[in-house]
Chain A
Amino acid sequence: GAGVSQSPRYKVAKRGQDVALRCDPISGHVSLFWYQQALGQGPEFLTYFQNEAQLDKSGLPSDRFFAERPEGSVSTLKIQRTQQEDSAVYLCASSLVRRGLGAGELFFGEGSRLTVL
Chain B
Amino acid sequence: EPEVTQTPSHQVTQMGQEVILRCVPISNHLYFYWYRQILGQKVEFLVSFYNNEISEKSEIFDDQFSVERPDGSNFTLKIRSTKLEDSAMYFCASSDPGLAGGRTGETQYFGPGTRLLVL
Q: Tell whether A and B belong to one assembly.
A: no
